[in-house]
Chains A and B, each alone.
Chain A
Amino acid sequence: MTRTDTMTKSISSGLTRTVSPARRAQNSIMFGLVALGTVIVLIPLALILFQVVYNGLRSINLDFFIKSERDMSMITGGGGVLNAIVGTLLMVAVALVIGLVVGIATGIFLSEYREHPLVGVVRVMSDVLTGIPAIVVGLVIYGLMITTKLPGYSGLAGGVALGLIMIPIIVRATEEVLKLVPTSIREAGLALGLPRWKVTMQIVLPAASTGIITGAILGVARVSGEAAPLLFTSFGNPDLATNLLQPMAALPSAVYSLAFKALTPAQNEQAWAGALVLLTIILISNILARFFSRPRSYRAPKANTAKT
């Protein structure tokens, strides 16, 4: 009785009373801290973007995209990084194919066949792969594909190394997003008399596609900036190469050599331009992936004629 009375009273007074100055102050302090944290996070990002865009735009020109490192002059600069742009695109494409095929298959295994005795082992292996330094991955591919001359220094070997790095990223993304697909959707498919693999491939996987594509973007963004695993796999190539069996250049290592082996300020500035191109590629792949990840199996409803 009295208890209820006081409760009602405090609730009603709590509703009418204005917020106390102490709480108001607490609120402002917390908000200030959060805002400060946000700014601290955004500053480096803004600095990076500003530096790269500002310096990059100063030295970028058409030649940069249509000429290769071979055409660069030590004295006047000139030339471009077409060889590195094409090399990065080709090797990342190889990596993406490997990462998607192996990564999605493994992710499906981990999420949809949870009762399988090997699931634990595979998950540990995938996690370990995440932690292996990129340079070690490069060394492994060196042993497997370079020393054996299968096929030796090549874009293919570089792509495989990048693919190995991408696999665990896509495995994780696929597994996580498949787990978000409600069981009821799987059961609905099974109840139609569809075999489990068809339900997985044609109903569950499409429902998870957005998340898998997001995982693939993360993978692409991660590996396009990798230089280490390519040092002794794709090796590098001052000329434009489109044959995956030949040595290939890549943007991160082009940026590295422009920045550190430059003999003239002009060349040094080209390193910024290379960084800008790298950043742009990552940005474009993000935008493309977002565009493609929109559900397209149906169109938005037209006139909503039916009553609910």
Chain B
Amino acid sequence: MENQMKLTPPPQSVISTAAVRLESQSVSIFYGEKEAVKNVDVSFKSNTVNALIGPSGCGKTTFLRAINRMHDLTPGARVTGKIMLDGNDLYGDGIDPVDVRRRIGMVFQKPNPFPTMSIYDNVAAGLKLAGERNKQKLDEVVERSLRGGALWDEVKDRLKAPGSSLSGGQQQRLCIARALAVDPEILLMDEPTSALDPQSTSRIEDLMETLKQQVTIVIVTHNMQQASRVSDTTSFFYVGDLVEHGVTSEMFTNPKDKRTEDYITGRFG
């Protein structure tokens, strides 16, 4: 299509007609001299869930964090190439990384609610600290976001309780709600369920199906079943290279690269 995807035209009409939202062009990422991600070209379409898979240490997290300019704060980290959001280079001149991060939310591997804040304040933090004072508006956003994170029913009676009083799975959904509260266009998730029990995991997987109505999701996962269950496209990373990118159902049934096949059939990783 209009980008350099290495895949044959995907069969699902939803995917093929949707517009490209996020696109990386020749992205390489270095830690000092070490090249952790090598020359990656990939694009993600609007309202899809996109999985990044691959063995540990292959650069999935590194690539994900380049998308919201998280590397700006890592001493020695350097990103080359372009990452385009709706055609605008996020690394272009005059682009404010703070603005990039407001538009591209992130959920981390381990739930990390703000420790001194209540459930309510955790969700409201993004708006409150950006200067929003209107109590009614904040109440609305908190409720909408907690519903979005499928947590509202469980916490609506104790919004003033500390965020850290929730269970691990609830904390991770709180973090999703917190990210949703600032109304991001893209949601990055770095192995969001790897620290959770199976039940919490499946709740979050179910949630992704609804979330993609409003955001485009890029999710790193170690779990092949999870990738095949929740994602529309899958990108397989191997030692810094993007080996294969394609529609998930196709890639899992008919991988083109030997390494992809070995990985998804569990021969290594």
Q: Which residues of A contact B (CB under 8 A)?
A: 115, 182, 184-185, 187-196, 198, 202-203, 206-207, 209, 295, 297-308
Contact A207 B116 (CB under 8 A): yes
CA–CA, A113 and B220, complex, Å: 30
Residues on the A chain within 8 Å of B182, using CB? 192-193
Contact A192 B112 (CB under 8 A): no
Bits for B102-129, please: 1 = Cβ < 8 Å to A, else 0.
Answer: 1101101010111111100100011001
Q: How far is the CB of B133 from chain A (nearest CB, A)?
A: 14
Residues on the B chain within 8 Å of A206, using CB? 116
Known A-B contacts A189-B114, A203-B125; the reply to A306 vs B158 at CB < 8 A is yes
Interface residues on B, range: 35 or more
B1 interfacial contact with A, CB 8 Å: no
Residues on the B chain within 8 Å of A185, using CB? 112, 114-115
Known A-B contacts A190-B70, A297-B121; the reply to A305 vs B105 at CB < 8 A is no
Q: Which residues of B contact A (CB under 8 A)?
A: 68, 70, 73, 75, 98-103, 105-106, 108, 110, 112-118, 121, 125-126, 129-130, 154-155, 157-158, 160-162, 165-167, 170, 175, 178-179, 182
Q: Which of A194, A297, A302 contacts B126 (CB 8 A)?
A: A194
**What number of residue pairs across chains A and B have CB atoms under 8 A from each other?**
103
Contact B158 A190 (CB under 8 A): no
CA–CA, A190 and B68, complex, Å: 10
Q: How far is the CB of B199 from chain A (nearest CB, A)?
A: 10
Q: Which of B98, B99, B117, B157 contacts A298 (CB 8 A)?
A: B117
Contact B118 A298 (CB under 8 A): yes
Residues on the B chain within 8 Å of A182, using CB? 112
CA–CA, A248 and B167, complex, Å: 56
* Closest residue of A by beta carbon distance from B159: A298
8 contacts between A and B (CB under 8 A): A188-B112, A188-B114, A189-B114, A194-B98, A194-B129, A297-B118, A301-B162, A301-B165
Q: Which of B70, B99, B165 contacts A187 (CB 8 A)?
A: B70
Contact A192 B102 (CB under 8 A): yes
Contact B103 A193 (CB under 8 A): yes
